[in-house]
Chains A and B, each alone.
Chain A
Amino acid sequence: MRILAVDDDPIILELLRQFVESTTDHALVTVSSAADARSVIAGSTDGSFDCFLLDIQMPETDGIELCRHLRKTDTNTPVVMLTAMNERSYIDRAFRAGATDYVTKPFEVYELAARLTAAEALVAVNRQAATVSVPTARKTGVAIDHPIELNDPLTIYDVEGVIEHSALENYLQQLGRSALFGSTAFAFSIREIAAYHARMSPFEFHCMITDVAEIMADALSHRSALMSYVGSGSYACVAEKGWRPDSKQLAGRVNYALAMSELYLNSGERIEPRVCGGDAVRMIWRSGTATLDALGEAVASAERETVDREKYLDDFWYMGQSA
């Protein structure tokens, strides 16, 4: 990978150079400010960067602002925050700005190595996946022609509060037990997602997933929550600051907004996706991988709800016919 590290401390840059040069095959470029980072990126002639390592507290523009700036033109490249700021407010702001991972200083060498390996894996996935994003495709009319599997955790672009699923997992693992006090996991699932997936083109499917995410994000906009698309029609959410969401009531609001929206396939046929909400799962006293288990429980609950709902509707129509 070609990595750009931005930190105003020359010792940290020296440490990173030493680490990258002696233990990896990556190429590292270092700069000491956000302004220098912008110049290097703009003047880069031998290809763009594959990964960014950003300090948060820097004079003038901080690392979170720089991350937000980078995301305006580059939605895929992994951004790893490398910072001494371990307060929850910084972690929240960094992930909302588009960070994919967060490492706190002082860092251990094995930890940094693991995060760079994860970033490299993300780069490989991104290279295999979309060469054209949904917003670009919508603007230019260029179709996405690569296949999308039903369970692919698609990246949703430019929707406030919606981040990549791997970033949401990193976010939860970054928060300690005490920081998770007052956090709740919940999820929504699109009903009959397999049927939609089977009849839609990859572009249409990605558009529907993005449109539903946009409506959900709108329903959550007055609350403090982060959301990601897990795959298979399911969206995982983490509510913060003590808010205990009633996800079934929220699903009702989302379905109303979906009914008011007019979503069409390229053929002109109207589609009417609907979602189900599952049980909310409190994150209190969980840490590490147990936080991911909580997220998994929330998603499983929403998916069970869609199955139950479909069965109920099948039974309803069957009884209606025979009555």
Chain B
Amino acid sequence: MLIRVDPARPQPLGEQVAAAVRRGIAEGEVTAGDRLPPARELAESLDVSIHTVLAGYQKLRDEGLIDLRRGRGAVVRAGAHAGQAGVAELVRGLVLEARRFGIGDDELVELVRSAL
């Protein structure tokens, strides 16, 4: 799986790591049961702090895309199918766009609710 991050972009690096993994799941590059690179190795590889990578992985766990267990590392969850990662990635995009145009977080939640 290819993970690209760029310190010049406004998003935090951890969020960029998460986005790259989401994309990997959405495009079927990694599938349920696949192991993500160990956080320490990925951090050394990208020359970022291990906390940055862990922040990204924790975000993915909170979204239900991966399991994160001490000793076993990060594993793509059985329930994490491509569609779910795709939607999560779209939501991140939506939030970024909204912030870019100065739409407040509460306002955005209202907008989404009204569309449901």
Is B a genuine binding partner of A? Answer: no
